[in-house]
Amino acid sequence: MPGKRSPLRYGLSGGGIVVAVLIGLAAAGALSSGGSRPSATGTHQVAKPAAGAVAVHGSPGWSPKTTDYFGLYRLTWSNNPALAQSGQLTLFMRRVTKPKPQTLPSGVISLHGRDGTNVFYLTHLNHVGNRNGAVVNIGNYNYQVAGHLQILDLALSHHRLRASLATDHGPTIDISFSRYSPAFNP
Amino acid sequence: MSWLITFAAPTTSRRGARGPGRPRRWRQVVIAVAMLVLVGAAFAISGPGHSTQGPSARRSPPRVSDPLAEAGAQWPVFGGTMDNTRFSALDQVNASNARRLGVAWSKDLGPYQTLDESFPLMIGRTLYVTTSTDEVMAFDAVTGKQLWRYAPQVDFSLSRGVGGYGVTVNRGVAVSGSRIFVLTFDDHLQSLSRATGERLWSAQVVSPHTGAYETMAPTVWHGLVFVGSSGSEDGVRGSVAAYDANTGKQVWRFWTVPAAGHGWVKRGQGGGTVYMPPTVDARTGLLYVGTSSPSPTIVGTRRPGADLYSSSILALDARAGRLVWYHQEVAHDLWDYDAESPVVVFDARVRGHTVRAVAEAGKSGYLFVLDARTGKDLFPPRPFVKEHHTPPTRKGVLECPGSLGGAQYGPDAYSPQSHDLYVVALNMCMTLKVTGTVGGYKEFGGTAVPQGVRQTGSISAFDTDTGRFRWHYEVPWPMIGGATATAGGLVLAGDTHGLLYAFDAHTGKVLWKANLGLAFGSAPIVYQVHGTEYIAAAIGGSPLSANFKWGNVGARVVVLKLGGEPIRPYQPPGA
């Protein structure tokens, strides 16, 4: 990508209420993150948000501070080796250009299992109190909502993160990551 | 109603050009000075389902230049033959029996696999397919039994191109002897064992931090692996390179546009990327590539001049990487009219002489047929979609085709029987609006909004003997994956809604069609094992299919044969 990125401050509001993040999934599965639809050859078009778009509860970003989580992680454990024997997680600030130029905290999870490789795109990072979660998309960041991610346990000082990944077409799996680099674009 | 607007404009074809740093002088650009030459009306376009055809077809013995094509039983390279003709010499499935096609076997590639633009290969008795997460899968071509699966560890966090929304597809592998070559999204060229899928070596071909990413299938010839890259929309500087097939070491690289600070390229600009597999003419050792548009895409004030060698067909010495000639389809491109579909090489009969020819149908909506030795037009460029062009403005102007084409990346097919080229297309006009010098989408320079209630598609047959389109068929959904022709007199093409068509190659009549349930993002292949002919496709759609909701997307391999099981409504995994 041209230029070097630096993470922007992402304002958060905290709260003490622990509420599960609820995600409604569209039947067609297409989510617009603001109206712009890219093409394989790089053209932008303005499109309407899909019917039944995802409802995200909670406040934007992760508690206490989203950028604290940024970086590169390796999978260290999962309870489902068929789906996840190894993998990577990247949390970073993603630059988008529609509906307006902005940066959005985002993530990508690649899981390599006996059954193959699956890639999940994390959008709409959110929190309710200190419960952090994200919308999970497949295909790309705004194509199809496939489930949600909930952070179960976090030890940032030890660069560890454990999460639950719940998807439409498969089992909910618990996955643990260890951060090996705080730089998401080394 | 016919919608053809003629322009007179120069196209540029040069032999032995010295490089992209010395463009011709042009006036200050307000109006695009270079467009395409149109001579005569090609055809009348009417509503969906209409087929027009020209003079009755001739039949002549196929002129086959590739021994593998003569065998016809396999599909060993991306385009069926090294010439990229996508022609199968098999004729068991033909115009008289295509309606009996049914399912031999099918396989879902994974519940979370979404989108598939893979162009399969079949060698021996093994079918090779890729997924959008860059996995390579080998199946028994008759039974569908999975033989092995290779899953590289790829950094998809760099899938932030195209305005930040990402695109990850993989268009297939290349095979040479006992080795398979695959490109990963994060710009690694990898060599695998064809027997086991074990990785032999991996080489980084470009830096992903430039914004470049890989989606193409490589091309292999004489111990060299040829690769381009994607990313012109992010200002990536285009190139095509050759790597040693044994070691992964780079042998040569040809940059398609100047470096930043040289020629027409300012800081942050680029373009001219090579999205699809290069074509090698094994007779001459020439490598043909199509390049993308320059960046910023619709703002030309920062890049005066022709912007060589963007939106062009290039002929390179395959062994040395030296430019032999170039033919710029659109000079000073302001519409994102990439020349991205693979170049087809064939023998044309022009004014009584056999001429080695190359052809490319671009996003511009024009088909270019050139002398393969010199790059000169053999025929005037012919439109295959509605055409209307003006330079984009801040108020917005209607462009036809829009910046998605025309023809997308999908390859054309050439039949040595009919002497026709078959071109699939997307019919979509757009309003292009400049939003700032490099505001908004940094390297696009504006917005492109589709016009019309719905987008449609078409397939057209171009007679290479006369230089004119012979028939044209409109379909309700865009066609972007390409076409395949067979000696059975068929042209096979799928649309973005999931319909696979078998057209009569000579008349354009629909002989058979079936909804396979998932959008087509690639073209079928044809092969034969133990006397049975099969038609195979990797279906699942492209990002376009997903974003425009033209059809269901997913990832699946479907193989058809005569007398196969009835084609049932598709059920997604887990349903």
DSSP notation for chain A: --S---PPP-----------------SS-B--SSSEE--TTS--EE-PPPTTPPP--SEES-SS-GGGG-EEEEEEEES-TTT-SEEEEEEEEEEE-SSSSEEEEEEEEEEEETTEEEEEEEEEEEEETTEEEEEEEESSTTSEEEEEEEEEEEEGGGTEEEEEEEETTS--EEEEEEEEES-S--
Mode of pairing for the β-strands spanning B446-450 and B366-371 = unpaired
Rounded distance between C-alpha atoms, residue B397 and residue B417, angstroms: 42
ipTM over the 0.85 cut-off: no
Whether residues A45 and B448 touch (CB distance < 8 A) is answered with: yes
Query: Containing H/E element for B546?
Result: helix B543-548
A172 CB-near residues (< 8 Å, 6+ apart): A164, A165, A166
SS3 content of chain B, % helix, strand, coil (to 5): 5, 40, 60
- B251: closest CA of chain A, how far (Å): 26
Does B454 lie at the interface with A, CB-CB under 8 angstroms?
no
Whether residues A44 and B444 touch (CB distance < 8 A) is answered with: yes
Find chain B residues with C-beta within 8 A of A144's C-beta: 114, 546, 553
List phi, psi (to 5°) of B547. -70, -35
CA-based nearest residue to B550, from A36, A28, A54: A28
SS3 B208: helix
Does residue B575 belong to any structural domain of this protein?
Answer: no
Predicted confidence band of residue A99 (pLDDT cuts 50, 70, 90): low
Chain B residues 360-419 with CB within 8 Å of chain A: 363, 402-405, 408-409
> What is the structure's pLDDT at A114?
81
Do the beta carbons of residue B253 and residue B209 sit within 8 Å? no
What CATH number did the domain enclosing B77 receive? Answer: 2.140.10.10
Whether residues B153 and A97 touch (CB distance < 8 A) is answered with: no
Does B235 lie at the interface with A, CB-CB under 8 angstroms?
yes
Whether residues A117 and B133 touch (CB distance < 8 A) is answered with: yes
> What is the structure's pLDDT at B166?
64
Q: Which residue range(s) make up the domain with A159?
A: 48-181
> What is the structure's pLDDT at B63?
40
Does residue B3 belong to any structural domain of this protein?
Answer: no
Number of CB pairs, chain A paired with chain B, less than 8 A apart: 203
Mutate to test the interface with B, among A31, A114, A117 (most CBs of B within 10 A): A117
Pick from A45, A108, A112: which is nearest to B153 by CB? Answer: A112
Does residue A32 belong to any structural domain of this protein?
Answer: no
Find chain A residues with C-beta within 8 A of B275's C-beta: 41
Find chain B residues with C-beta within 8 A of A168's C-beta: 574
Query: How many structural domains does chain A have?
Result: 1
What CATH number did the domain enclosing A149 receive? Answer: 2.40.128
A141, A174, B213 from A3: Cα distances, Å: 21, 36, 16
Mutate to test the interface with B, among A1, A32, A43, A143 (most CBs of B within 10 A): A43
Does residue A122 belong to any structural domain of this protein?
Answer: yes
Whether residues A41 and B275 touch (CB distance < 8 A) is answered with: yes
Does residue A61 belong to any structural domain of this protein?
Answer: yes
Whether residues B168 and A119 touch (CB distance < 8 A) is answered with: yes
Output the DSSP codes for B42-81.
-----STT-EEE-SPPP--------HHHHH-S-B-STTSS
Does B160 lie at the interface with A, CB-CB under 8 angstroms?
yes
Does residue A88 belong to any structural domain of this protein?
Answer: yes
- A158: closest CA of chain B, how far (Å): 23
Query: How many structural domains does chain B have?
Result: 1
Find chain B residues with C-beta within 8 A of A84's C-beta: none
What token pair was written down for B492? 């096979």
Pick from A39, A119, A141: which is nearest to B544 by CB? Answer: A39
Residue keyed to tokens 């090294």: B82
B173, B200, B290, B408, B515 from B77: Cα distances, Å: 8, 20, 18, 20, 27
Q: Greater confidence, A26 or B185?
A: B185
Find chain A residues with C-beta within 8 A of B232's C-beta: 41-42
Burial of B55: CB neighbours in 10 Å, binned 0-12, 13-18, 19+: exposed
Find chain B residues with C-beta within 8 A of A108's C-beta: 156-157, 159
- B20: closest CA of chain A, how far (Å): 22
Does residue A171 belong to any structural domain of this protein?
Answer: yes
Q: Which residue range(s) make up the domain with B191?
A: 12-57+65-562
Mutate to test the interface with B, among A93, A140, A144 (most CBs of B within 10 A): A140
Find chain B residues with C-beta within 8 A of A47's C-beta: 547-548
CA-based nearest residue to B215, from B202, B196, B224, B228: B228
Neighbouring C-beta atoms of residue B388, cutoff 10 Å:
14
Whether residues A47 and B112 touch (CB distance < 8 A) is answered with: no
> What is the structure's pLDDT at A94?
84
Does B439 lie at the interface with A, CB-CB under 8 angstroms?
yes
Does residue B6 belong to any structural domain of this protein?
Answer: no
Find chain B residues with C-beta within 8 A of A97's C-beta: 163-164, 440-442
Whether residues B338 and A41 touch (CB distance < 8 A) is answered with: yes
Predicted confidence band of residue A55 (pLDDT cuts 50, 70, 90): low
Does residue A37 belong to any structural domain of this protein?
Answer: no
Does residue B570 belong to any structural domain of this protein?
Answer: no
Burial readout B13-33 (b: 16 or more C-beta within 10 A, e: otherwise): bbeebeebeebeeeeebeebe
In terms of CA atoms, which chain B residue is nearest residue A94? B164
Residuewise pLDDT in 10s, chain B (575 residues)? 333 323 333 344 554 443 333 334 444 444 444 444 443 333 333 333 333 333 333 434 334 344 444 457 999 999 999 999 999 999 999 999 999 999 999 999 987 888 889 999 999 999 999 999 999 999 999 999 999 999 998 888 776 655 566 677 899 999 999 999 999 999 999 999 999 999 999 999 998 878 888 999 999 999 999 999 888 877 889 999 999 999 999 999 999 999 988 999 987 789 999 999 999 999 999 999 999 999 888 888 888 999 999 999 999 999 999 999 999 999 999 999 999 999 999 999 998 899 999 999 999 999 999 999 999 999 999 999 999 989 999 899 999 999 999 999 999 999 999 999 999 999 999 998 887 655 434 567 778 888 887 899 999 999 999 999 999 999 999 999 999 999 999 999 999 999 999 999 999 999 999 999 999 999 999 999 999 999 999 999 988 888 888 988 889 999 999 999 999 877 766 55
- Mean residue pLDDT across chain A: 70
Whether residues A39 and B547 touch (CB distance < 8 A) is answered with: yes
Whether residues B447 and A86 touch (CB distance < 8 A) is answered with: no
Pick from A88, A97, A108: which is nearest to B440 by CB? Answer: A97
Does residue A104 belong to any structural domain of this protein?
Answer: yes
Does B328 lie at the interface with A, CB-CB under 8 angstroms?
no
Pick from B109, B166, B234: which is nearest to A2 by CB? Answer: B234
Does residue A22 belong to any structural domain of this protein?
Answer: no
